[in-house]
């Protein structure tokens, strides 16, 4: 890795180095979401409010939160998965084709992520890869390859707890949704925004007796290849494994 590459990135993406954005040039904005493949099966998720949660103290949730790499064999329910997805990328309001307001903050309401799920143990779901269709609160089945969990663990440098999770959230950044407005500085905002998303996942998981472990150590090229991504257009930016807590923490 080039020495001082991080410092150079920070310098080159300062406001003083910004030019005219594609938005300012009146170029069309990118779509709010990837298109849906009509041939792929869709699963409508339960409405998040159908999951009854015990009253929780936000301070207690923050205090209890810690990264968990061991998970019970108990699966998550579909309602619990719906809750986690809603808390991390749920759409509260749609303004035509212009923007969405969601359950997490995003620079300029750009919300430049797609959520892919590696499902191992979710009631009513076959193990495999799914995409969260945030605008419809549905899942789209992508793949049921039997060794997909092993492939993901290998691409994460052998972090095998990914294979033992109930589900692993894989956040894919679509940079042009952000750089259309903010140019190269938008890459800063992608990393800030995904932190907001992951923290919501940690807290939402605590509320259902589940634990999370965020994963930033991965082979970028291998994960992008697994998801058939062109890294010029989209790339994996972060992951987080989720599962029910074991009796002993």
- Whether the CB-CB separation of 224 and 175 falls below 8 Å is answered with no
pLDDT for the residue numbered 114: 98
Tokens of 17: 């180095």
Does the pLDDT value for residue 2 go beyond 90? no
Mean pLDDT of 164-187: 98
Count of domains forming the chain: 1
Does the pLDDT value for residue 249 go beyond 50? no
Mean pLDDT of 103-122: 98
pLDDT tens per residue, range 46-96: 999 888 888 888 898 899 899 999 999 999 999 999 999 999 999 999 998
Q: What is the pTM of this model?
A: 0.96
Tokens of 145: 């390859």
Q: Is residue 22 part of a domain?
A: no
Q: Is residue 12 part of a domain?
A: no
**Distance between CA atoms of residues 56 and 60, nearest Å:** 7
pLDDT for the residue numbered 3: 85
Mean pLDDT of 128-134: 98
Does the pLDDT value for residue 139 go beyond 80? yes
Does the pLDDT value for residue 247 go beyond 80? no
Q: Is residue 35 part of a domain?
A: no
Q: Is residue 11 part of a domain?
A: no
Does the pLDDT value for residue 197 go beyond 90? yes
Contacts 24+ apart (CB under 8 A), 37-44: 37/140, 40/140, 40/141, 40/142, 41/140, 41/141, 42/133, 42/136, 42/138, 42/139, 42/140, 42/141, 43/78, 43/124, 43/125, 43/130, 43/138, 43/139, 43/140, 43/141, 44/136, 44/137, 44/138
Strands (E), the chain: 42-44, 91-95, 99-102, 113-119, 128-133, 138-143, 167-173, 210-215, 235-244
Mean of the per-residue pLDDT values for the chain? 95
Mean pLDDT of 206-210: 95
79 is in which domain, residue-wise?
A: 41-244
Residue position matching structure tokens 């990135």: 9
Q: Is residue 69 part of a domain?
A: yes
Please report the sign of the dihedral spanned by the C-alpha atoms of residue 94, residue 95, residue 101, residue 105: positive
Burial bucket for residue 88 (CB in 10 Å: 0-12, 13-18, 19+): buried
Q: Is residue 142 part of a domain?
A: yes
Question: Among 31-35, 63-67, 214-218, 223-227, where is mean pLDDT lowest?
Answer: 63-67
Above pLDDT 90, what percent of the chain? Answer: 88
Q: Is residue 164 part of a domain?
A: yes
pLDDT for the residue numbered 248: 55
- Identify the CATH number of the domain in which residue 216 sits: 3.40.109.10
Mean pLDDT of 217-231: 97
Q: Is residue 184 part of a domain?
A: yes
């Amino acid at each position: 890795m080039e020495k001082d590459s991080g410092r150079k990135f920070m310098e080159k993406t300062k406001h003083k180095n910004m030019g005219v954005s594609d938005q300012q040039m009146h170029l069309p904005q990118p779509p709010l979401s990837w298109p849906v493949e009509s041939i792929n099966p869709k699963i409508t998720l339960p409405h998040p409010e159908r999951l009854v949660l015990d009253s929780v103290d936000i301070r207690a949730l923050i205090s209890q939160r810690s990264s968990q790499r061991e998970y019970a064999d108990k699966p998550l329910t579909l309602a619990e998965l719906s809750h986690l997805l809603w808390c991390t990328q749920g759409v509260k309001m749609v303004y035509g084709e212009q923007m969405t307001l969601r359950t997490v903050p995003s620079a300029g309401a750009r919300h430049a992520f797609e959520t892919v799920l590696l499902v191992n143990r979710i009631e009513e779901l076959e193990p495999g890869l799914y995409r969260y269709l945030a605008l419809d609160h549905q899942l789209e089945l992508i793949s049921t390859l039997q060794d997909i969990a092993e492939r993901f663990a290998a691409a994460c440098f052998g972090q095998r707890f990914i294979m033992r999770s109930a589900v692993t959230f894989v956040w894919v950044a679509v940079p042009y949704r952000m750089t259309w407005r903010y140019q190269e500085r938008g890459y800063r905002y992608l990393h800030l925004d995904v932190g907001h998303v992951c923290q919501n996942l940690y807290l939402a998981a605590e509320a259902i007796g589940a634990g999370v472990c965020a994963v930033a150590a991965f082979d970028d090229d291998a994960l992008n290849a697994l998801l058939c991504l062109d890294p010029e257009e989209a790339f994996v930016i972060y992951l987080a494994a989720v599962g029910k807590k074991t009796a002993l923490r």
